Amino acid sequence: MKPYVFVGHPIERETRDYLEQHFELAVWNEPNKKVPAERLRDELQRAEGAMLTSTRVDAQLLADAKKLKVVSTVSVGYDAFDIDAFQEYGVLATHTPYVLDETVADLVLGLMISSSRRIAELHEYIKKGEWQPEPDSTFFGQDLHHRTLGIIGMGRIGEKVVRRARLGFEMDVVYHNRRRQPEVEQNYEARYMELDDLLQHADIVVVMVPLTEETTGLISTREFGLMKPTSVLVNAARGPVVDEGALVTALREKQIFAAGLDVFDQEPLPADHPLLLLDNVTLTPHIGSSTHETTREMEMCAAKNLVQALQGDTPQDLIKELKD
């Protein structure tokens, strides 16, 4: 008898066919609606494996999931997983690193360009019929080329952003990371800096750290005070890494020039959020990896992790904390 597996979101036909070769499968097929809590609890009590996306899995859920052996998330981030609880209950957890790196780096560059050249703002300016025949210097943006990029969190995606910035825009690069990255320094002439020094020096600050207790609120009022009034902040990591209240104040009071954001404290962003009233911010709805090609690759990666785990092998993308 095939193991029972629950998938908590719609999936591509190719992924479904692959999973059905190995498992008895149930799929939540509501594209714009999360699995209700009771349905999720019932499914995990029955399942040996699950594939989820951005769904909180904590000790309370795992305590009731007596048959569950593995949960695979279709994302590189796994802050929705209570890793201590996974260890306590002996459940494996996997994610999907690597396959989305280039795609996320593309979006980061897009946010850098849009924020610097005010593309999103000027798009709305034209749509509202406000374009005047004479040039209006109040809508001038800032150059991106030959400026200084500061990366906070020099992981795989950070390195790919640096490659684009150096080779495409001839930017200088500074970075801050828990560990220095000699290869990045050598390949791209990147310079390591302490965080405060980076914030004071960089023209574009890109935040790419994982969400942990230490990184929550990493960029807040004090940090905005260190940045240049011409600085641009880009956050494609996790919303809580940047203090949203402090960011709104910094944008409103022109402490920084602009921001580009793909992640937020609350997602979807509430309709009355103050960020929506600001012109000097480009907002995207957490779409860092959201292309058809990359989504298919991530799903297949997550599916293969499930198969490996339920066949008794160590999944290729077992979350690091569960390996230690």
What distance in Å separates the CA atoms of residue 263 and residue 18, rounded to the nearest whole number? 31
SS (H, E, C) the chain: CCCEEEECCCCCHHHHHHHHHHCEEEECCCCCCCCCHHHHHHHHHHCCEEEECCCCECHHHHHHCCCCCEEEECCCCCCCECHHHHHHHCCEEECCCCCCHHHHHHHHHHHHHHHHHCHHHHHHHHHCCCCCCCCCHHHCCCCCCCCEEEEECCCHHHHHHHHHHHHHHCCEEEEECCCCCHHHHHHHCCEECCHHHHHHHCCEEEECCCCCCCCCCCECHHHHHHCCCCCEEEECCCHHHECHHHHHHHHHCCCCCEEEECCCCCCCCCCCCHHHHCCCEEECCCCCCCCHHHHHHHHHHHHHHHHHHHCCCCCCCECHHHHC
Question: Annotated catalytic, 46?
Answer: no
> Which of the residues 238, 253, 299, 321 is marked catalytic?
238
In Å, the largest CA–CA distance within the chain is 73
Question: Annotated catalytic, 299?
Answer: no
Q: Give every strand in the sheet of 172-176, ordered side by side.
A: 191-192, 172-176, 148-152, 204-207, 232-235, 258-261, 281-283
> Which of the residues 14, 124, 267, 321 is marked catalytic?
267
Question: Annotated catalytic, 223?
Answer: no
> In this structure, are residues 86 and 112 in contact, taking their beta carbons and an 8 Å threshold?
no
Question: C-alpha 162: how far from its chain's center?
Answer: 17
> Which of the residues 12, 286, 296, 297 is marked catalytic?
286
End-to-end CA distance of the chain: 33
Catalytic residues: 238, 267, 286
